[in-house]
Structure 1
Amino acid sequence: MSIEGVDFALRRRAEERDRISNDLLDLDSHPGYQLLDGARLTGETRRRWDETQARAVTLWWLFDAYRKVLDRAQQLRAGKPDLAALTGLLSGPSVELKPENVPVEKRSLLRAAGEWITLDTVVARMDAAYRDIAATVAAADDAWSALLPRLDEADRARRSAQDLLRDLEGTDPDLDRISAGIDRIRAAVTADPLGSAALGAELDGLLADLTARRGLLEQAARIRVEYGDRARRLGDRIAQVAEAEIEARSIRDTVLVKIASPALPTLPDQAAALLDRLGVLATARDRWLELVNRLTELESAVDEALALARTATESMAGLIGRRNELRGRLEAYHAKVARLGYAEDAALRELYGEARTLLWTAPCDLRQATVAISAYQRAISRIGGAE
């Protein structure tokens, strides 16, 4: 190697040394590296980190050996240059790996001596070790980045739920279960990020449970504030149910007198039971979580009972309405017959009389009355007077 070649090689190696030094320092100060170095690791992460630390020791030893050879070369160049020695240092096998410095995976039971390698080989081995270390740090950092923010989100939601629970002065075993699960996952992720990928689905489930539980606690907090008004409104609605059921019984009695063999719906009778349930709620007023479902269920039951009573009333009243509608049709047909000049027609008078008797006799047989009106209508149609 010429003196110019030596100077060029020294400059290139010095720049390479400085770049490698900066890269090693950056790696050593990387937040992920620092977290791994300071954490009490377990599982897959502990295994990988032990391997990574061994590579880091080798990496720093190789860098130190590289730097020492370069320092010797720079010292030789500063005096009377020995080109053969400089060439050997810069391009020949100038770095000795003693048996104790050779990585375990490269040792041989048959090889007691170390080995001499070039600076290029040192750089290549440093690069391989660096890449392995960086890959482990990046994998752990990715795992933490994927799960720790979601765990922080879970912690915020949990604190909010616990604040609500404290205000309610109650206990919630479900919230305790969710909280314990979050703590367990955080501990696992912190100690073994590389073995925690499967915990993401479990964390999703806990977050969904926590969202639902916080919603229930928010409902309980609202109910605590609104309970008096809602209970009074419930009492008023139950009174409406009672009135509607009384009306349904009254219309049933009317229908039984006025309509023959009516098909009646089941008579609703829920007001008393609903009032009892409202009374029981008052005994649980300090158990707000319990009241959430019981109060909302009772409100739904009251609405359903009121709708049922009103529907039954409308259904039974419809039978009276059907009778009245048939009466109106019969009289309309009768008036039409008179306008057409067939009021004295014996056949028509007989059909009219039969239908009228059925419709004005209690109880009224709606089926027979409908048949009779149809016969009257057909008779009118035959003489060309029906609409």
Structure 2
Amino acid sequence: MSVEGVDHALRRRRAELERLSQDLLDLEAHPGNRLLEGARLCGETLRRWEDAQAETATLWWLFDAFRRTLERAEKLRAGRTRPGPAELAELTTLLTGPSVEAKVEDVPVERRSLIRPLGEWLTLDQVLTRMDAAYREIAQTAAAVDEAWTVLAPMINRAEAVRDEALELERALGASDAELGRLTAELAAARDAVRGDPLTHAADDRRVEFDRLVTRLEERRDLLARAVRFKEDHEGRMNALAELIAQVGAAEREVLTARDEVLVKIASPALPPIPDQARNLHDRFMALSSPHAGGEWIELARRTADLERAAEEALAQARETRSLITGLIDRRDELRGRLEAFRAKAVRLGRAEDARLGGIYRRARDLLWTAPCDLRQATAAVASYQRAIRQSGADG
């Protein structure tokens, strides 16, 4: 190489060294690497991290060897303003030839083999190539870890937020919740496992398991929230529940009254089963109100909610049953109205004095105004009267 060629090569190698230095610092500061430093790793993440650590040792050794060789060349060039052929030859070898010795003892233990050469000489370009390969492997591991944490961190944060909300609700209740304690311990174990091996736990099936845990925490938090609300409005809830059960009793008494009325006014009525839930609901309510149940807010809230649902269903059933029963009388009244409407039509047609129509009308009227009323026969009689009127109108 000429003097100009040497100077150009020195400037280029110095620029490469400065770029390498910055790249290595950036790699060390990569979020993926910083996440793993000092962590208690295991599984796939530990294996990848150990490989990356070995590559890091190789990378820094290669960088140091590159730096030492370049500094040696720079020192040699600085010693002569006009270097002679010998100096130029040495500089050429340092800058382009096999000038970096890779000694066996410089190779990390995990990279050694029992069968290996005694040493190896590398050019600066070969050093750069090996550094690039090591850098890529380390960077890929760091990027994989960073990507895994991008997925996992929100899951952990969400789970811990739900846990904290549940713990706050537990404190508001003033009593420990065994199930929340179990879920909290399970979360701690799952969180440590995730932090120890993020590369494995970022897989879809592992995230599903973590999501199930979060769902169970959310369900427990919601249960505790209902218990807190119940505790804060215990007296109001109890009063409202007592009133609801009283409404069930009143509605069931109305069913009995309607049944008794139908049995008098309707012959052989097809009655639905008569509801009788008020007494049982009242007994359950009294059990809720007993002193020994007062301290178990979660269980008391659950039992109260169950009783509220049962009372609401019983009230709806009683009202529906009453509607079905009174519907029989409504049916009789409807038939009465239709019969009189048909009678008015007969008058308009001038058939009011028709003996045959009069006989059919009187039979239908007797059925409808006789207690108990046979709805089946009355329905048939009204239909017969309607047909007779229609035929009479057609004949006229």
Normalised by the size of structure 2, how large is the TM-score?
Answer: 0.90
d(CA) in 2 for partners of 1:343 and 1:191?
99
Report 1:184-203 matches (<5 A).
184-198=189-203, 199-203=206-210
1:238–1:274 Cα contact (<8 Å) kept: yes
2:93–2:99 Cα contact (<8 Å) kept: yes
d(CA) in 1 for partners of 2:116 and 2:355?
135
Deviation at 1:328, TM superposition (A): 3.0
1:238–1:275 Cα contact (<8 Å) kept: yes
Aligned position for 1:79: 79
Aligned position for 2:265: 258
* Cα root mean square deviation, aligned: 2.3
1:340–1:385 Cα contact (<8 Å) kept: no
d(CA) in 2 for partners of 1:73 and 1:21?
18
d(CA) in 1 for partners of 2:266 and 2:349?
33
Q: Between Structure 1 and Structure 2, how many residues are aligned?
A: 386
- 1:208-247 CA-to-partner distances (Å, cap 9, x unmatched) read 2222221221111111112211211121121121111111
Aligned position for 2:329: 320
- 1:262-287 CA-to-partner distances (Å, cap 9, x unmatched) read 11111111111111111122232322
Aligned position for 2:120: 115
- Using a 3 Å threshold, how does the CA distance of structure 1 residues 191 and 341 change in structure 2: closer, same or farther? closer
1:32–1:140 Cα contact (<8 Å) kept: yes
After alignment, is 120-129 or 103-112 more displaced? 103-112
User: What runs of 5+ residues in structure 2 fail to find an aligned partner?
Assistant: none
1:45–1:191 Cα contact (<8 Å) kept: yes
Aligned position for 1:101: 106
Aligned position for 2:314: 305
Does residue 176 of structure 1 match 2:185? no
Deviation at 1:109, TM superposition (A): 5.5
Deviation at 1:9, TM superposition (A): 0.6
- Using a 3 Å threshold, how does the CA distance of structure 1 residues 120 and 259 change in structure 2: closer, same or farther? same
Aligned partner letter, 2:321? A
Deviation at 1:122, TM superposition (A): 0.8
Deviation at 1:310, TM superposition (A): 1.6
d(CA) in 2 for partners of 1:74 and 1:338?
130
Instruction: Select 2:215's aligned residue among 208, 214, 231.
Output: 208
1:337–1:385 Cα contact (<8 Å) kept: no
d(CA) in 2 for partners of 1:88 and 1:196?
51
d(CA) in 1 for partners of 2:331 and 2:74?
117
Aligned partner letter, 2:23? D
d(CA) in 1 for partners of 2:380 and 2:137?
96
User: What runs of 5+ residues in structure 1 fail to find an aligned partner?
Assistant: none
d(CA) in 2 for partners of 1:295 and 1:32?
51
Deviation at 1:84, TM superposition (A): 0.9
Does residue 237 of structure 1 match 2:259? no
Instruction: Select 1:149's aligned residue among 154, 161, 164.
Output: 154
d(CA) in 1 for partners of 2:393 and 2:115?
125
After alignment, is 80-89 or 41-50 more displaced? 41-50
SS at match of 1:347: helix
d(CA) in 2 for partners of 1:174 and 1:205?
15
Aligned position for 1:353: 362
1:148–1:186 Cα contact (<8 Å) kept: no
Report 1:29-44 matches (<5 A).
29-44=29-44
Aligned partner letter, 1:306? L
Deviation at 1:57, TM superposition (A): 1.6
Aligned position for 1:126: 131
SS at match of 2:105: coil
Normalised by the size of structure 1, how large is the TM-score?
Answer: 0.92
- 1:23-66 CA-to-partner distances (Å, cap 9, x unmatched) read 22332344432442322222222222222222222211111111
1:102–1:114 Cα contact (<8 Å) kept: no
- Using a 3 Å threshold, how does the CA distance of structure 1 residues 146 and 343 change in structure 2: closer, same or farther? closer
Aligned partner letter, 1:225? E
- Using a 3 Å threshold, how does the CA distance of structure 1 residues 62 and 287 change in structure 2: closer, same or farther? same
SS at match of 2:101: strand
Deviation at 1:171, TM superposition (A): 3.3
d(CA) in 1 for partners of 2:171 and 2:303?
21
SS at match of 2:64: helix
Does residue 378 of structure 1 match 2:383? no
